[in-house]
Amino acid sequence: MTQTKRAIFAVILGLCTGQSAISQDIATASESTTELPQEAVDPLAPRDATETNLNDFLWLNRPIIVFADTAADPRFQEQMALLEERSGPLLDRDAVIIFDTDPDAGSAIRTELRPRGFALVVLTKDGAVGFRSPSPRDVREITRRIDNFSIRQEELRTGG
């Protein structure tokens, strides 16, 4: 796991647990993220939905979006831990992870997908909803469902 990814997960977990000892990691993560060229940014580093546009991923990536009403939601914490635990298969499937834990921010992604409380939403490369789940899912289940998407089936047939 890269230093940037560790720092971002530390920030998220720190927000969830209310720890303030990670302020140094936050500063390090923000400094290293702004200094990295675009190509070097970890593709599976969680992205905040308020700063993300789904159109940026059309035909390139499969967004995995984790919604919760607060970062302290145990389901949110569990889902983020599950995604971090086995990130390799997600990377192989061109996944990007997006999170939204602030309903009051009114992100365009939340407005478009309309989650209620916790929700896991996986989009296809063409921007359609591949599947939704009201509870956390492990990476094995997520990748099996992605592998059943028609675009993924075509990628497997053509080798690209």
Structure tokens at 41: 């940014």
Of residues 73 and 32, more confidence is placed in: 73
Asked if residue 71 lies in contact with residue 11, where contact means CB atoms within 8 angstroms, the answer is: no
Asked if residue 87 lies in contact with residue 44, where contact means CB atoms within 8 angstroms, the answer is: yes
Average pLDDT (109-135) is 97
Q: Which amino acid is at 54?
A: L
Q: What's the predicted TM-score (pTM) here? A: 0.75
Calculate the alpha carbon distances from 17 to 20, 78, 84, 146 in Å: 9, 13, 17, 31
Does the structure show a pLDDT above 50 at 25? no
pLDDT at 9: 52
Average pLDDT (125-147) is 97
pLDDT at 44: 85
pLDDT at 130: 97
